[in-house]
Structure 1
């Protein structure tokens, strides 16, 4: 019972192993240069040897058969010719006893002269009664082995030989290839006879089989030899290539001191020396760039820190002047107001530069707290309402999800949302701005969509670059520093999330911030689609300030599409 039950299991295991072979071979073909070259070499070599061996076997077979055929034709011609000369030289006119004796001599002479003992003689014309001359067979060659076509040719061609290939029965019951040769024999006083002599070609077949087996064996041995030579040559050539590939991978991973060994003066040695020279150049340039980057980071950090002290003093003075600007004349009043505004912008710029320097130095740390992204977005929207009102934009909140707390750094996410909403207000052209918050089992996300100027694809690809603007001639009216989106992208990546942008000219822009529920585990699509599926209709540019309660009522009202009704 145990043996019987084990058999299907073994068969299934073998079947699974067999099904895995194509995939294994495909992987080897893609990943191994040696396997590809050896396979191609063996396939082409095997095909060439197969064609050569097959051609040689066919040529040898034809030559051997033709040689043997010519030999038996000559032998049959000699035997029948000798019999015909014997008959022609005898004087048997009206002597029936002499004719019978002569015919007996012919029966004995044909097998004696011929190398074959398979003979059959049949009369074409019926011999006269009493002549004693009739057909005979020797060695078991019967009329059944002779085709009608062969006999017709022998009868219709009196002065020529005819032949055909046959299978001769052997004493052990098997058959052997053979040739039957037929021609006419004229017997005086008795008429014309058909003479057939069969020749066994078994020895020729054995010779041909030996030659063919030798050819195939030699071909297989040659394939094995070529495979061995190819493997040795390929290993000699590919080993430096493999070393170069491994060394390149180590160099790309950051091991700048790795080098290729140089042996000899050939092309591979030249390649190794060139690779080492390239590695030396890359190492020196990377070290130089690293030093320059450190100097740059140190410079930005030092300058930012050093400017904070005088900036604090200037800010105190600017605040004092701004508080008393009503006592000044109009020119001084405006000057004090501009001084206060620009000092604030300068302080923001210094803070952003310090933050950028921390990202460059890799010293930024998250302060994670369980926070509801939807609640956080509501707070930011409430803070940005006065600014949106001043620009004539209406803020709308769509929050199907995102209420469950997740571990994020609320200060950094709040900064990202302020920056995105501020940019939307800046470039929204007074049209509605929609903030969408949603979540799924993998992530939470917030999208900020405006219906303003938009950008072309080339500008959208550079929107996160530092100090970059799509339209340099367009002045910032809200007072951004040009570093906000770059810092926002760094905050998103620090959480293990993404910050993506979609934009189209004259249609608007949509930013989507996606954060994982578990740090570093962002799997699956974002809950908020990057490319908007519908367009919010235009509203009047002038709107009253929207309070948080009004935002909730706007979301739950029937007048504005909210998507899914699940708001858990």
Structure 2
């Protein structure tokens, strides 16, 4: 059931056709039901009027026969013959005698008459159909026929709808009699059933026709849309030369033409951006390489000047120190730019080997420990997992840790800095957590952008070119891992490096952020 529901949600054709068929079916049922009721009511009224008129005519025929025959009659035996003849005359005006039952009964409450006749009824007549209400209406309103709807039971026990109609017959020297005629409505019922069957077959044919027409129309509309969707998926996958086939001049053709124009424009813009990116990467790479030679010369000269600074005047000594510091910073920036150019050009490669992440973290901590002591921060290493070795490039992981530890020292406000190493069967992780100033959500969102600084005004002791975290993220991705950040203003930050222990393994972070229920 769920699969069918999901397919219904995904398929526009199925939704439109099913909705059209459902609405058409509802309309056919409403119209067919109304027509069935109207036709049934019309057939009943027609049959009712026919039976009432025939009963009234039968009463008149019987009464006329009694009037003509009783004038010379003097015995009850003669009355029995006259009654049979009168009833035969009355049955002669009834159109469907086989489906009609009759009864002639003397009206109650009359004085004795010399030629009074007994009650008589046809075979199969059910006397229980004559209700007290009907007898009162017939006897109290002579000359006017009355009817009631009844259920007629045939000899085989089958029940069918019917009518009982009563009318009075005046017999000279015998009194007033009541003539009751019971007529079945089988013919009207059969006619109604035939009409309903025809309406049902016609309604189903109309619904199927509407469904087929809807499917055809939707196919004409959805087909080009699906083709456009397929082309857009290929464009999204990098196949920029794909275009939509356009046929005709209708609205769908206009959509296809506009889509192709959009694809042409996007392809041209992407190609321009790729050319610009290539030029930019080449420019950065060329400039970085070209600056290396003069920078090396300046560095050597600066080192000589820096070594002789004690013999200079105070202002010259300070200038030598500034020159040496800025040359070092310039060299670090050039190295970072060259590394980024390798990532952009896809030339960065890994030199992996089985590495103990705990030892790598310990080495990185020892490298920055003097700086941490200067800032008053204590570095604490915690290793909780059991799979500490991973197939990684130690140089790149060391660079990531140096960047993360440097940032933690600069922003840790002298509080404890925690380094956590953990692992599971598939992944290994290293987290660096400080309890310093933290970042706003906007800063945390852009912290891995190139040349971005959450607080440019802060004094940094670890240099800082604004490229360290961007390179660290690229190093993590090159390993098939991730570098994530959690930060809250005033509570500190936590950077989490997650790496696959072997290439191709799924990366499931073994270390949780504080808001994920972790211990930190």
Per the normalisation by structure 2, the TM-score is 0.93
SS of residue matched to 2:305: helix
2:321 maps to 337
Pairwise CA distance, 1:140: 1.7
Give the whole-Å Cα distance in 2 for the aligned partners of 1:166 and 1:373.
97
Cα drift, residue 155 of structure 1: 4.0
Paired position in structure 2 for 1:43: 22
- Contact persistence 1:497–1:522 (CA under 8 A): no
Q: Summarize the Cα distance change of 1:185–1:65 in structure 2 as closer, same or farther, 3 Å threshold.
A: same
Aligned to 1:352, what secondary structure does the other structure show?
helix
- State the partner residue of 2:51: 72
Whether the aligned pair in 1 keeps the contact of 2:422 and 2:428 (CA below 8 Å) is yes
Superposition map of 1:168-187 within 5 A? 168-187=152-171
Q: Which residue of 2 aligns with 1:240?
A: 224
1:434-449 alignment to 2 at 5 Å?
Answer: 434-449=418-433
Q: Secondary structure at the match of 1:113?
A: coil
| Equivalent residue, structure 1, for 2:107 | 124
Question: Which residue is 2:310 aligned to?
Answer: 326
Say yes or no: does 1:213 pair with 2:197: yes
Distance 2:202 2:114 in 1: 65
- The aligned residue for residue 470 of structure 1 is 454
In the alignment, which residue of structure 2 is the partner of 1:460?
A: 444
Deviation at 1:472, TM superposition (A): 3.1
Residues 534, 340 of structure 1: CA spacing in aligned structure 2 closer, same or farther, 3 A cutoff? farther
Are 2:95 and 1:111 equivalent residues in the alignment? Answer: no
Between the aligned partners of 2:276 and 2:292, the Cα distance in structure 1 is 24
Identify the match of residue 356 of structure 1 among 318, 329, 340.
340
Deviates more, 1:84-93 or 1:277-286: 84-93
1:394 and 2:391 equivalent? no
> Across the two proteins, how many residue pairs are aligned to each other?
515
Cα drift, residue 534 of structure 1: 9.5
Tell me whether 1:136 sits opposite 2:105 in the alignment. no
In 2 relative to 1, CA 533–164 (structure 1 residues): closer, same or farther, beyond 3 Å?
Answer: closer
Match in the other structure for 2:175:
191
Q: How does 1:134-533 map to 2 (within 5 A)?
A: 134-401=118-385, 404-524=388-508, 526-531=509-514
What is the Cα deviation at residue 86 of structure 1? 3.5
| Correspondence for 1:25 | 4
**What TM-score does the superposition give when structure 1 sets the normalisation length?**
0.85
Assess if the C-alpha contact under 8 Å between 1:467 and 1:482 holds in 2: yes
Gaps of 5+ in 2: none
In the alignment, the residues of structure 1 paired with residue 404 and residue 231 of structure 2 have an alpha-carbon distance, to the nearest angstrom, of 44
Distance 1:252 1:466 in 2: 26
The residue that corresponds to 1:558 in the other structure is none
Gaps of 5+ in 1: 1-21, 536-561, 564-568
Q: Which runs of 4+ in 1 moved over 6 A?
A: none
| Distance of 1:280 and 1:198 partners within structure 2 | 86
Residue 119 of structure 1: how far off its partner (Å): 0.7
Q: Please provide the CA RMSD for this pair.
A: 2.3
Residue range with higher mean Cα deviation, 90-99 or 215-224: 90-99
